[in-house]
Amino acid sequence: MDSTSPVRPTQHSHTTPHPSDAVVLWLIRTRAYFLKEIREIRRQPLLIISLIAGPLLVLVLFGIGFVNSNPVLRTALILPDDLPDDVRTRLVSLISLNFQITDRAYTLSEARIALEQGDLDVVQVIPADISGQLQRSEHPTILVYSNAINPLVEGWVQYLAYAQVNEINKALLTEQTRLAQQQAREVGVRIALGANRLTELEREVSRAEQETIRQELRALRAFLVQFRATIPPENLFAGRSEDIEQVRLRTDDAIRALDDVDAVLASGDIEKGLKELRDSKELLTLLDQQIAIFISIAPETIVSPVQQRYQNIRTEASGEASGAYPAVVYYAPGVLALLVQHTAVSLGALALVRERMMGAFELFRVSPANMVQLLIGKYLGYTVFIALASVALAAAMRLLGVPLLGNWFLFVILLLLLTVASLGVGFLISTVAGSDSQAIQFAMISLLLSIFFSGFFISRDSFAAWVAPIIALLPMSHGVEGFQDVMLRGIPPDPEVWIELGIIAAATFGLVTFLTQRQFRRA
C-alpha cells in the first residue's frame, strides 16, 4: 500500500459526558456552524462589496439626482381672447408657480389630443370675462384636464390646481378690493361736497341754485351707484366681510336718501322736506365714515386676514424656519433598514434550503450535532456579518452627512434585533421553499412588501386599518421607525419598536425550530 496508515487515536470511552463537557461540546458544535458560515461569506468578496458599496452608491446617486419631490407637469394654458394683458400676465405667472407652461399655443381639441398621446400632462382652460363673472357674483371655473395613470400624480394635479385657484382668487380679489378702495376715496370727496350742498339747501337759496344743487346731488347719486358696483361680493372674502357689507349697506342708504332729496327738490317745498334733507346729510356722513374704515384696511387683509408663519423647532435656535433633512439624509435610515432586512432575509432564505438540497442535512443528522446548534450557529454567523456590513455602511453614510444623534448603543442593539428578526423571516422562507429559486422569489416578495408597506417611501398612515398587521409583521417597518428616531431625531425608539421586533424574532425562531426539526427527521 502506498498511502500511510494513520495512527488510530485512543478509542472513545462511550460513556455519558460530564455536564461541563456537554456544554463545551455544545459550544464546539455551534461554533462549527458559525465559523463555516463566516468562512463561506468571507470567500465571496463581491458579495461583501455589493452589500456595503451597493446601497451607498444608490444613496449617493439618489442624493445627487433628487431635485424635487413634486412632479414636473407639462401644461398647456388656453386663455380667452378678451383677457386684458395685465390679467393675462398675472395669471400666467401664478399658474407657472406649480405647472410648467409650454411655449406652444394649443386649441382645446389639440391640447386634449396631446394629453391622450402623453405629450402634455395637464391642460388648463381659463374662462372668458373672469372679472365680469366675479362682479355678477358668479363662480368662474378654470377647467383642469389630465390623463394621469399614476394615482400620486393625479393627486398632485388636483392639489396643485386647488392651490393655484386659491392663489388666483386671492390675487383677483386683492386687485378688485384695491380698485374699490381707490373709488371709495373719490366717493369720500364727493360725499363731503354733497353734504355741503345739503347744508346750503337748509338756508334760503334761489330756485336756480336749487336746480344746480339738485343736478350735483344727482351726479353724486350716479357716482354712488357706480361705486356700489365695484364693491366685491361679500361671499368671496375670507375675512373683514362685515366691513365690506357695511359699505354696501351705507351706500344703498345714501342712494335712497339722495332719491328722497331729489323728490323734495322736485316738489319745490323745501320747508316741508327739511327732515329728509337732514336725514340724508346724516346718512352721507355715516357712509363717509364707513368708507374711511374701508380704505384704511389693506386689501390683502380683507382678502386673507389670517397668515401663517412656519418654524421647525429643530432649527429654531439657529433662526432658520426650515429644519427638515435633505432627502438623501432622510432616506438613509430607511436604506440601512432595507439593507439589513433584505440581506438577512436573502441569506436566511438560502441557508437551510441549500443545505437541504445538497444533502447536508443527512450528514448533520448522522452526527451528534443537533438542529438547534445548527440554527444558532447560522444565526450567529449571519448576524455578525450583517452587523459588520451595516456598521461599515452607517460609517460611510456619516461621510454623506447622515447623523447619529441618538445613543450609539441603542443603535447597535436595534441593528442586532432587526437582523435577528429579519433572519427569522428568511429562515422561515427557507423551511417552506422547495428550491433556491423559490427561496429567492419569496425573498423578493418580502422586499416588495417592505418597500410598499414599511413606511420607507409611503407613509404607513396612508393604509387602511386592516393592513396594519402586515405592516407590523415586517421587521423593516420597525427598523425604519427605530433608525429614524435614533439617527435623525436623537431619541430612543418607541417601546413598540423593541417589543414587536422581539416578538417577530422569537416567534420566527420558534417556528423555524419546529419546522426544521420536522425536516431534520425526514432528511
Partner 1 sequence: MIRANAIEATNVSLVFGEHAGVFDQTYCVPEGTILGLIGPSGCGKTTTVRLALGLYRPQKGAIRVLGADPATFRAEHRARIGYIPQQFVLYPNLSVAENAEFIASLYGMRRRQIHRRLDELLEFVDLAAARNRLGRQLSGGMQRRLMLVGALMHNPDLLFADEPTAGIDPVLRGRFWEYFRTLRDEGRTLLITTQIVSEAMYCDYVAVMRQGRLLAIDTPQNLKRRALGGEIIHLTLANPANLAKAIGALRRYPHVKEVRYAPESDRELYVTVDDAGDWIPEVLNVLEDPQGPNIVVESAEELALTFDDVFIRIIRQWEAQPEDQTADAIIGREQHG
Binding residues for partner 1, rule: CB under 8 A, are 1-9, 11-12, 14-17, 24-25, 28-29, 31-32, 35-36, 39-40, 43-44, 358-360, 362-369, 523
Question: Which residue's CB is nearer to partner 1, number 220 or number 347?
Answer: 347
- Closest contact distance (angstroms) between CB of 47 and partner 1 is 11
Smallest gap, in angstroms, from Cβ of residue 346 to partner 1? 16
CA distance 352 to 360: 9
Measured CA to CA in angstroms, residue 386 lies from 60, 301, 344, 392, 512 at distances of 21, 59, 7, 10, 20
Q: What is the dihedral of CA 300, 87, 248, 243, to 10 degrees?
A: -10
Between residues 3 and 462, which has the closer beta carbon with respect to partner 1? Answer: 3
Q: Please name the amino acid found at residue 172.
A: L
Task: Check: CB of residue 406 under 8 Å from CB of residue 492.
Answer: yes
Closer of 145 and 382 to partner 1 (Cβ): 382
In the complex, least distance from residue 342 CB atom to partner 1, rounded to whole angstroms = 21
For residues 297 and 523, which CB has a smaller minimum distance to partner 1 in the complex?
A: 523
Count the alpha carbons within 13 Å of 160 in the hemisphere toward its beta carbon. 26
How distant, in Å, are the alpha carbons of 31, 117, 296, 346 from that of 182?
89, 49, 11, 73
Distance CA 495, CA 240 (A): 49
DSSP code of residue 308: -
Closest CA to 56 of 326, 339, 406: 339
422 contacts 475 by C-beta, under 8 angstroms: yes
Q: Is 403 exposed, middle or buried (0-12, 13-18, 19+ CB in 10 A)?
A: middle
**Least distance in Å: CB of 37 to partner 1?**
10
Q: Is 9 or 319 the residue whose CB approaches partner 1 more closely? A: 9
Kindly tell me which of 49 and 92 has the beta carbon lying closer to partner 1.
49
Residue 35 CB, nearest distance to partner 1 (Å)?
Answer: 7
Query: What are 441's three cell numbers?
Result: 422569489
Q: How far is the CB of 44 from partner 1 (least distance, A)?
A: 7
Taking the complex as a whole, the smallest distance from the CB of residue 356 to partner 1 amounts, in Å, to 11
Given the complex with partner 1, which of 26 and 223 has the nearer CB atom? 26
At closest approach, how far in Å is the CB of 354 from partner 1? 10
Query: Is the Cβ of residue 37 or residue 485 nearer to partner 1 in the bound state?
Result: 37
The least CB distance from residue 7 to partner 1, in Å, is 6
Could you count the other beta carbons within 10 Å of the beta carbon of residue 481? 22
Return the number of the residue (40 or 82) whose C-beta is nearest partner 1. Answer: 40
Strand order in the sheet with 122-125: 100-101, 74-78, 122-125, 143-146
CB of 374 to partner 1, least distance (A): 9
Q: 3-class secondary structure for 205-249?
A: CCHHHHHHHHHHHHHHHHHHHHHHHHCCCHHHCCCCHHHHHHHHH
For partner 1, give the closer residue by CB, 20 or 109.
Answer: 20
* Contact present, 33 and 379 (Cβ < 8 Å): no
